[in-house]
């Protein structure tokens, strides 16, 4: 079972405001920039993200039914702000791995401990000239 919704609300109000500005630069973290599917408003959500070639895998610590995941899936993509770069990503697809075998060992242990087996896979959009 992913982290409780009440914790997600607390993070939205407090923690995300603190971690958001630094998550764009730290290894293993990013900010997902997306737009509300009904409001059209721009949102930024700090996440744990890991790269494998042109694929990005985002840990879904609050499960698959969060607003930001639904927004990204409805739009067919988003922008990742990571390591000081803006990376458009496409084709979001939810996956499930109870072992979190794709994550580095410390993150893997944390994901298993909080019961977060789901992830969002995205592909980096081709850059112009490729």
Average pLDDT, the chain: 85
pLDDT at 84 (0 to 100): 87
- pTM for this predicted structure: 0.82
| The CATH fold of domain 5-124 | Pnp Oxidase; Chain A (2.30.110)
pLDDT tens-digit readout, 1-52: 555 565 555 555 455 555 556 566 667 889 999 999 889 899 999 999 999 8
Q: What is the DSSP string of 54-98?
A: TEEEEE-TT-TTSHHHHHHHHHTEEEEEETTEEEEEEEEEEEE-T
pLDDT at 12 (0 to 100): 53
pLDDT at 27 (0 to 100): 75
pLDDT at 31 (0 to 100): 93
pLDDT at 4 (0 to 100): 59
Confidence grade of residue 108 (pLDDT, cut at 50, 70, 90)? very high
């Amino acid at each position: 079972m992913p982290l409780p919704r009440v914790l997600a609300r607390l993070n939205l109000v407090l923690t995300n405001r603190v971690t958001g500005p630094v998550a764009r630069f730290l290894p293993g973290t990013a900010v997902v920039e997306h737009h509300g599917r009904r409001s059209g408003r721009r949102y930024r959500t700090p996440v744990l993200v890991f790269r494998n070639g042109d694929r990005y895998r985002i840990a879904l610590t609050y499960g698959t039914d969060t607003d930001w995941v639904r927004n990204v899936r409805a739009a067919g993509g988003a922008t990742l702000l990571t390591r000081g770069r803006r990376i458009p990503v496409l084709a979001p697809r939810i996956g499930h791995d109870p072992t979190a075998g794709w994550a580095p060992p410390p993150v893997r242990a944390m994901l298993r401990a909080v019961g977060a087996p789901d992830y969002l896979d995205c592909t980096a959009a081709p850059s112009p000239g490729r």
